[in-house]
Amino acid sequence: MESALEALQFFANSANSVRVFEALSTGIPTNSGLAEQTGASRSTVTRILNDGESRGWIDSEGSQYELTDEGRIMLEEVRACLRTVEGVQHLGEAIEWLPPPAHSLDYRYFADADLITGTPSNPTEPFDYVAERIRATTEIRTLAWTGVPRLTALINEQALAGQLDCEAVMQASFFDTLVGKPEVVSHWRAPAERGDVWRYTGDVPISMHIVDEAVMIWLGEHHADEVVVRGVVVTEERAVMSWAESLYEEYRTGAELLDPATLPTT
């Protein structure tokens, strides 16, 4: 019996194999039609068809070809595998900066994500990007272990102007860091008074925002007890949105509303 690795090599050794299977899945049944669609030579297409048929992935009747159920499943799995590799390649070193909960996602969901990192000429680019998304949205939900004063000020400003509905679940220990920072505390008092902020007692191992149809996940590099922000990854992939919404609800369910009276006063 052919090994799984040998089966994968059938596709990995030639991009034409994937192209021919893709074309077959769209209903192109003949050697000549497949050659025209894929740009491969007819001899190459014939070899792929014969090899695929010998594996039980392709059926033929005369000069007509079609994928078997097994062939369609193989194509779907190869597609998923390729997208996963594309996602890994797209993220590159940023994989090391993803927060732990995000590693439960299939990396294929990051293949088309926007990756915004700071540059020597613009080290604040990730923060600029997120600020622009906040200005353009009408709803934001935040789950985070810390807050960025610039962004919390903007969210508060937009909310007070009636331009933004906002909610946040924050790690409880974050509010202890606001002692002696009255200008930052002011950004949290109004949403706390509206009942839009929850405090989670325990670790929140991720900082992310859910805005309209997108999820923005902050990327960080850990150095001892400090996390250095490296950028933000942004995706509109529906699977990531469902994951983010579930994660947000999980932490909100385990949190309690922030009592404005507990915020530092000086």
Q: What is the pLDDT of residues 11-46, one digit of tens each?
A: 998 899 999 999 999 999 999 999 999 999 999 999
Contacts for 223 with CB less than 8 Å, ≥ 6 apart? none
Instruction: Name which residue leads in pLDDT, 239 or 1.
Output: 239
Q: Looking at residue 35, which CATH number applies to its domain? A: 1.10.10.10
pLDDT of residue 128: 97
Asked whether residue 122 falls in the same domain as residue 65, the answer is: no
Work out how many domains the chain is built from and give that number. 2
pLDDT in tens, 137-155: 999 999 999 999 999 999 9
Q: Is residue 92 part of a domain?
A: no
Quick check: is 86 in a domain?
Answer: no
Among residues 34, 49, 80, the one where a domain terminates is 80
Regarding whether 224 and 107 lie in a shared domain, the answer is yes
Residues 178, 147 share a domain: yes
**What is the Cα–Cα distance from 38 to 258, expressed in whole angstroms?**
59
Look at residue 61 in the predicted model and tell me its pLDDT: 94
Asked whether residue 109 falls in the same domain as residue 62, the answer is no
The answer as to whether 168 is a domain residue is yes
Residue closest to 98 by CA, chosen among 215, 250, 238: 215
Does any domain span residue 122?
yes
Per-residue pLDDT band for 266 (boundaries 50, 70, 90) equals low
The answer, yes or no, to whether residue 1 has pLDDT greater than 80, is no
Whether 57 and 107 share a structural domain: no
Establish if 93 belongs to a structural domain: no
At 265, the pLDDT band (50, 70, 90 cuts) reads confident
What's the chain's average pLDDT?
A: 94
Tell which of 80, 113, 137 closes a domain: 80
pLDDT tens per residue across span 101-148: 999 999 999 999 999 999 889 999 999 999 999 999 999 999 999 999
Same domain, 199 and 146: yes
Shared domain for 187 and 74, answered yes or no, is: no
Q: In terms of domains, do 105 and 195 share one?
A: yes
pLDDT of residue 224: 66
CATH of residue 154: 3.30.870.10
- Of the candidate ranges 72-86, 149-163, 221-235, the one whose mean pLDDT is the lowest: 221-235
Final residue belonging to a domain, choices 80, 109, 127: 80
> What are the backbone angles phi and psi of residue 163, rounded to the nearest 5°?
-100, -5
Task: Output phi, psi for 256, to 5 deg.
Answer: -125, 150
Helix (H), strand (E) at residue 200: strand 197-200
- Mean pLDDT calculated for residue range 161-170: 96
- 112 and 204 share one domain: yes
What is the span of the domain harbouring residue 37? 4-80
- Judgement on whether residues 72 and 153 belong to the same structural domain of the protein: no
- Give the model confidence (pLDDT) of 178-211 as tens digits: 999 999 999 999 999 999 999 999 999 999 999 9
Extended strands (E) in 42-106: 58-61, 64-67
Q: How confident is the model at residue 2 (pLDDT cuts 50, 70, 90)?
A: low
Residue 226 confidence (pLDDT): 77
88 assigned to some structural domain:
no
Residues in the chain: 266
Q: Report yes or no on 91 lying in a domain.
A: no
Does the pLDDT value for residue 6 go beyond 80? yes
Q: Please, are residues 256 and 199 in contact by the beta-carbon 8 Å criterion?
A: yes
Residue 227 has a pLDDT of: 79
